[in-house]
A and B are shown apart, each in its own frame.
Chain A
Amino acid sequence: MHCSDCRHLLLEADPGELRRIGSSELVAHLRACETCRRAAHHVLDGEQLLRTALLDLQPNGSAAVAAQAAIRTSRRRRHRLVAVPLAAAAGLAALLLLRPEPFTPGTPQQFAGPPPIVEARSGQDVIVYQTANPDVVVVWLFQRKGS
């Protein structure tokens, strides 16, 4: 193997080959050629510098503080996951219960059959829903607080 071939091979070789481990042509040449061996050493030294620099990387702050922050954030998000659907359900319930419209007789387009006649006491509100089933109508009779 010529040195020029070796120099190209060592640019992609496994680190083990650069350390002359194994029995490849490259390893045999590195054992025999001092110049190429020095090139391999330079590559290995450079990679060791990189390895050390990356090993020395440290994030800011202490592990204890980071752990506590992670636990707090996790618990906050868990509460939000429960609270948001509960709030949405409560909002929907309030919307359904507190709709201000009193009962008005349905038009023929709103009810499949003749509109229901609902008798309510004075002061009592009524909401009537036509369901998807033309035979089923939901009637809510309710009294507002304070009325």
Chain B
Amino acid sequence: MNELARLNEAVAPVVVHARRGDADAFTELVRICRPLIYRWAYVDTGDPDDAEDIAQEVLVRVYRRLRTFREGSSFTAWLYRITRNLAVDRERTRARRRRLWPVGDAARAARSVSGPEDAVVSEDSAAIVHGFMKRLPRRQRQALDLVDLQGLAAAEAATMLGLDAGTIRVHLHRARRTLRSMILEHVPEMAEEL
């Protein structure tokens, strides 16, 4: 059973109570799901500040729309769609602002923003995470995270991302190639042969 399937099982009874307006149940739901929402938002945007904002907005939407969630369907898939839509909206807003105020974007990039690559202990780990976040485009990061790191089947990941399975596989293979080449770059005897 993959990570998301386990989480779906864990939240099912909590969702029932939270849908009835139980604030404690909603808090418990937040405790369980918030790190995952943040992770998805971070993988999507590559920015920890944006990920924080998106994660909080996801919680607002979940609270408002929990009654519309169909019991029996996948809670994590529903949660992922909300997260992804908010991340897309944020990117659109940012793109509009970039067109109007290009200087602002440069100023933002100049601020030092810490991410998980700054929190990891080992150099190897930091390099891999940095490579994952900076060298893979968004779709490839999403595909690799859902399939290889969180254990979803490609078809499930395709549904969550709103893509067809063939497209997901293309993104996945490209992501694997980039990430694994980078991993093997740090192993000199391997790197020579690739």
Query: Could you tell me if B63 and A11 are in contact, using CB atoms closer than 8 angstroms?
Result: no
Q: Interface residues of A: mostly helix, strand, loop or mixed?
A: helix
Q: Would you call A58 an interface residue if the criterion is a C-beta within 8 Å of the partner chain's C-beta atoms? A: yes
Number of residues on chain B facing chain A (CB within 8 A) = 46
Contact with A along B110-128 (1 / 0, CB 8 A): 0000001101101011001
| Interface residue SS majority, chain B | helix
Pick from B42, B52, B64: contact of A60, CB under 8 Å: B52
CB of A139 within 8 Å of the partner chain: no
Given A11-B181, A67-B59: A54 and B128 within 8 A (CB)? Answer: no
Question: What size tier do the contact residues of chain A reach?
Answer: 35 or more
Assess whether A54 is in contact with B38, with CB atoms less than 8 Å apart.
no
What is the CA–CA distance of A4 and B149 in the complex, to the nearest angstrom?
A: 26
A97 within 8 A of B: no
In the complex, besides A12-B176, A49-B122, A60-B52, 7 extra interface pairs with C-beta distance below 8 angstroms are: A7-B190, A12-B177, A54-B149, A63-B27, A64-B31, A67-B23, A71-B63
Contact sample, A vs B, 25 pairs, CB 8 Å cutoff? A7-B190, A7-B193, A15-B148, A39-B184, A39-B187, A39-B190, A50-B179, A51-B149, A52-B125, A53-B117, A53-B119, A53-B125, A54-B42, A57-B35, A57-B39, A58-B35, A58-B38, A60-B52, A63-B27, A63-B31, A66-B56, A69-B56, A70-B59, A70-B60, A74-B60
